[in-house]
Amino acid sequence: MPMFNRETGVLNQAVLQSWQRYDIRRILAENWDTLAPKLEGKLHLFCGTEDQFRLNESFVLLRDFLRSKGSSAVCELIEGRTHSDLYRPHPLYPEGLPTRMYSEMAAKFEAHAGGKSN
């Protein structure tokens, strides 16, 4: 079912209601005291400014919410990127986003594991 009428712009309240359970910002807001400590230092979000599904708009709302809570989340809005080409090489990640993600996660793991005795 469409979320809104493309001709009139009228929102379908039943569809909006059914999607609320997937609203990450809403879930975080309702459970912030429990989730914040578990997510500390673990969120790194990426979105293109030209997302075909307009996720960039939701991304900005989530980013602003996280900032208002003083979260350490890193939220990167990648200029000119869409839902389809976000992962392709870019000046911020010349070898592609998956390679950058893997490298950053591996570095965090190594830093954490390096401080432990075996």
| Mean local confidence (pLDDT), 10-22 | 94
Instruction: Report the pLDDT value the prediction gives residue 105, as an integer from 0 to 100.
Output: 94
Round to the nearest angstrom and report the end-to-end CA distance of the chain: 55
Q: Output the pLDDT for position 116.
A: 60
Q: What pTM did the predictor assign? A: 0.83
Element (H, E) at 48: strand 44-48
pLDDT of residue 112: 86
pLDDT at position 61:
96
pLDDT at site 118: 47
Q: What is the mean pLDDT of residues 83-110?
A: 96
Q: Are 11 and 41 in contact (CB under 8 A)?
A: no
Average pLDDT, the chain: 94
- At 33-52, the pLDDT tens digits run 999 999 999 999 999 999 99
Where would I find the H helices in the chain?
Answer: 13-19, 24-30, 32-39, 55-68, 97-114
Asked if residue 18 has pLDDT above 90, the reply is: yes
